Amino acid sequence: MLYPLKFEPILKDKIWGGTKLQKLFNKPAKSERIGESWELSGYKEDKSVVTNGFLAGNDIEELIEVYMGELVGDEVFDKFGLSFPLLFKLIDANDDLSIQVHPNDEVGAERHDACGKTEMWYVLDAEPGAELIIGFSKDTSREEYIEAVEKGKVENLLQKVSVKKGDVFFIPAGLVHSIGKGVVVAEIQQTSDLTYRIYDYKRTDEHGKERELHIEQALDVINFNAIKEPKTQYKDELNKVVKLVESDYFITNIIRFNQEIIRSYASLDSFVVYICAEGSFCIEYDGETTAVAKGETALIPAIIDQVKLIPAKESTILEVYVP
């Protein structure tokens, strides 16, 4: 019988990474520049492995192969097969990330035989004065953009947004963006690693080489219109389920709670993923409990109709599923 599943994080060393994933969430990293913890992934070789219960040691693709729609939902399985459709990460920007854009499904399929990349960020931690780049500050022509790129002044066209813990940003394919120094986010995205880098501050790697830019590829992908409301507005309510993002690829809710909550998923034909953003809680199902600490992720198989969530103290979780 399937049950709530937890997974071993996959840690990624990055040129811009730091140590906050270890400090804030006890990630087992030895490097001092861990930029990403892939919490739940079915991407290529980076397939998450179960750590709890009798399925421990099996990876997500093996589970889908055996349990199919019982694990991910019948419609999800029919559409994606053995591919797990979403990728969940924690990101520590100890330095500014490159300014980048992601292609949509159509371009991804045409150029890379892959899906595109729409994503969202939930800010888990932010140093005073920290910023994100979200789109253009004014409607910009293709010609203006090309000239700015050639002069190394593309930053001047972009919108910088001050951030704090709890802020939410939806990043559809085509939106230019970057995470600034001092920001830690939970990222929910399509299972894709397609990134077009358009500016990288002339940084060099350990061999003295600048990272590759994708100026030409990005041109046909970028949304040059100004983004007037870069931050997703939501009502912060205690012991309520509040919707943050609804897209074609995922729906994300936030639950801030200090008392038991029962979540019923009988009408939902999808797996559900919880990311614990603050505090800790237990998932009670079929007489068993699964503890989830701050920074941990758990998957509720699609066959499970109802769970009880029990917070140890006031806690905040993100709840994600496929529409």
Tell me if 270 sits within 8 A of 80, measured CB to CB.
Answer: no
Tell me if 307 sits within 8 A of 281, measured CB to CB.
Answer: no
Number of helices (H) and strands (E) in the chain: give both, helices first: 7, 23
Active-site residue, 142 included: no
Furthest-apart CA pair in the chain: how many Å? 63
Long-range contacts of 147-154 (CB under 8 A, 24+ apart): 149/198, 149/199, 149/215, 152/199, 154/99, 154/198, 154/199
Distances (CA, A) of 46 to 22, 55, 66: 20, 18, 19
Residue 197: in which H helix or E strand, if any?
strand 196-199
Residue whose tokens read 């198989």: 301
Catalytic: which of 197, 211, 256, 263? 197
Distances (CA, A) of 173 to 51, 105, 313: 33, 8, 37
For residue 190, the tally of other CB atoms under 10 A from its CB is 24
Q: Which residues are catalytic?
A: 197
